[in-house]
Amino acid sequence: MNKVIRGIVATSMMLLVFSVADISAQQYLAAGAVRANTPVERQVFKKINGLPYYGVFDHISFEVKGSQVVLYGKVNSLGTRRDAERAVSRVPGVTSVVNNIVNLPPSPFDDRIRRSIVRSFENSGGLYMYLREPSPSVRIIVENGRVSLEGYVNNSGTANLMNILANQTPGVFKVKNNLITESARDR
């Protein structure tokens, strides 16, 4: 049995073992993917997740320092960087916004990798549920062939499976798995 067939069989077997549930934005927030303990943090979280073009290929995180909000992350969608800063600056209690969000450069090579990863998650069964819009719980960041998986999943098996599938994608040089699981939340 060659490596590809063994990989497909192993992936299929893992899918039989792991169940995938629909993750809401509230569960994502509660999971510690974003520590939102104050009303300002909750409002910033809602504003970011409500951005019109904030999709599965964008990832924004933030830190509240008094009345200042610092935005971090990488976005593929045009205008999302500016829209995030504008939306967060309108949150009551926020006096300044430091925008450290990076716009990813346009790249047909990276676009092909993004589509391939989504397709492999789609074909693997229930993993596609983590990518559903408007507020996907998993985000796929691709920059120069390097992939970063961000967000929240139910268990480490799902996180590992996503990591394996992303690593098997043609053109991917490296995968960084930053997925947060329920067990990590409970610590």
Question: How far apart are alpha carbons 170 and 29 in whole angstroms?
Answer: 33
Question: How far apart are alpha carbons 19 and 12 in whole angstroms?
Answer: 12
Q: Is the pLDDT of residue 14 over 50?
A: no
- Quote the pTM value: 0.77
> What integer is the mean pLDDT of 120-135?
88
Q: Is the pLDDT of residue 186 over 80?
A: no
Q: Which residues of 38-72 are buried (b: 16+ CB within 10 A; e: fewer)?
A: eebbebbbebbbebeebbbbbbbebebeeeebebe
Burial of 85 (0-12, 13-18, 19+ CB in 10 A): middle
Q: Which has more pLDDT, 65 or 6?
A: 65
- Tens digits of residue pLDDT in 137-152: 999 999 999 999 999 9
Contact (Cβ atoms closer than 8 angstroms) between residue 153 and residue 179:
yes
